[in-house]
Amino acid sequence: MATALPLDLARPRRTGAAGILLLLALAYGLVPLLGTGYLFEAILTPFLALALAGLGLNLLTGYAGLLSLGSAAFMAVGAYAAFNLSLRLPGLPLPATILLAGLVAAAVGAVAGLPALRLRGFYLAVSTLAVQFFVAWALNRIGWLSNDSPSGIVAAPRLEVAGLSFDDARGRYLFSLTVVAVLTFLAWRLVRSPTGRNLVAIRDHETAARIVGVKVARTKLLAFALSSFIVGIAGVLWAFAYLRTVEPAGFNLDRSFQILFIVIIGGLGTLRGAFLGAGFIVVLPLVLSRLGAAALGDGFDSGTLEMVQRIVLGALIVAVLIREPAGLAALLDRALNHALRRVRPRS
C-alpha cells in the first residue's frame, strides 16, 4: 500500500498537464453538448461527488496513512452545515455557504482526529467509527439541525450563483464539475507542497519524521481537517446537486465504506485514484445490470443486482489488494507508459 508514488517524476510533466487540459476540455465542452439528462443525473453528478469524497479521504488514508471509517459522517456534517447556513443566513452567496460548510466539517474533523495522536491503524479506524455513529445520532436527536423536520429529511436549496441558475441536470453537473476541479487543483498543490511531503513522511516513518522536525501531532490534525474539509464539501454536492434533499440515510456507514473502497480500488496515495475508483463504483452497477438482464432476462431484479454487486465488489477489492495494491491508478500508469513508449521513439 505504501508503494504508491505521490509524485511521479519519472513521467514527463507535460504529458500529464496536456492530459488534464484535454479532460477538462471534454468535461466542459463536449460532455454538456452531447450528454443526456440521465448521464448527468444518474452518472456524472454522483461520480463527481464521490470522487471528491474519495479525494478527501485519500489525503488522510492514502497520504498520511490514517485510516478513517467516518467519511460519510463528515459528508453529513458538510451537507447539514450548508443547509443550515443557507436556511439561517438567506443572503449568503452559495460559494460562501459551501466554503463555510467545509470549514465546519474541517473543525469536526480536527476534533475527530484527536485520537489519532495516540491510536493507529485498526484502533484509529474504530475511533472514527464512533464519529460515524455519533453524527448519525446527533442528526436524529437534535431537531434544530434539520429545521425540526420530523423525518430529518429536508429539501436542498436551489443552486444559484450571482443570479445564474444551475438547477437543471446539466447545470448541476457543471456546478459540481467546477467545485471538484477547483478543489482537485488545490489538493494537487497541497500534496506537492512541503506539507504533502510531511503527510507521506508520517505514513512511511513517524519517528524519522519527528526527528527531521515534522510537527507530527499538528500535521495529523491538519490531515484530518483538510480531508474533512474536502469530504464535507463532497457531502454538500451529494445532497444539493445529486439527491437535492438532505437526509441522514444518505450518509450512513455503507457510504463510508463505499468511499474507502473507492480509494482502495482507485489507488491509495494518488489523486487520480479517487476519480478512477469513483468511476468504477458508479459504472459497475450499470454494467452488472445490463449483463445480468442480458444473461437472465426478467429473473435479474434489483434485489439480485444489489447482491451480485456486493459480491463482485468484495471479490474485486480482495483481488486489488493482492494483485495491485497501488490500485487502478497504477494499472493506468503502466498502460500509459506502455503506450507512450510505443509512440515516443517514432516521433
Taking the least distance from each CB to other proteins, the nearer of 205 and 338 is: 205
Segment near other proteins (CB under 8 A), from 105-113, 117-125, 145-153, 185-193?
185-193
Q: State the minimum distance, in angstroms, from the CB of residue 191 to other proteins.
A: 10
Contact 69, 252 (CB under 8 A): no
Minimum distance from residue 272 beta carbon to other proteins (Å): 16
The 10 Å CB-count burial string (b at 16+, else e) for 140-167 is eeeeebbeeeeebebebbebeeeeeebe
Task: Quickly count: other Cβ atoms within 10 Å of residue 257's Cβ.
Answer: 14
Applying CB under 8 A, the span of 13-21, 89-97, 124-132, 188-196 interacting with other proteins comes to 188-196
Q: Is 222 in the site for other proteins (CB under 8 A)?
A: yes
Closer residue to other proteins in complex, CB, 7/315? 7
Q: x/- site string to other proteins, residues 238 to 277, per CB under 8 A?
A: -------------------------------x--------
Site for other proteins in 196-215 (CB under 8 A): 197-198, 200-201, 203-205, 207-215
Helix axes 302-323, 271-296, angle to 10 degrees: 140
Tell me which stretch binds other proteins (CB under 8 A): 20-28, 120-128, 183-191, 300-308: 183-191
For residues 223 and 63, is the Cβ–Cβ distance under 8 A? yes
Strand partners, 165: 160
Decide: is 10 part of the binding site for other proteins (CB under 8 A). Answer: yes
Backbone angles phi, psi at 152, to 5 degrees: 80, -5
Q: Which is nearer to other proteins, 225 or 328 (CB)?
A: 225
Instruction: Give the phi and the psi of residue 68 in degrees, each rounded to 5.
Output: -130, 135
Taking CB under 8 A as the criterion, which residues in 113-172 touch other proteins? Answer: none
- Is residue 281 involved in binding other proteins (CB under 8 A)? no
> Which range, of 2-10, 13-21, 152-160, 327-335, touches other proteins by CB under 8 A?
2-10
Dist. CA 57–CA 54, nearest whole Å: 5
Do 105 and 234 form a contact (C-beta atoms < 8 A)? no
Binding segment (CB under 8 A) for other proteins, from list 123-131, 137-145, 182-190, 282-290: 182-190
What is the smallest separation between the CB atom of 148 and other proteins, expressed in angstroms? 38
Stretch that binds other proteins, among 1-9, 114-122, 145-153, 256-264 (CB under 8 A): 1-9
CB of 12 to other proteins, least distance (A): 11
The reply to whether 3 sits near other proteins by the rule CB under 8 A is: yes
Residue 154's beta-bridge partner residues?
246
Q: Given the rule CB under 8 A, which residues bind other proteins?
A: 2-7, 9-10, 186, 189-190, 193-195, 197-198, 200-201, 203-205, 207-216, 222, 269
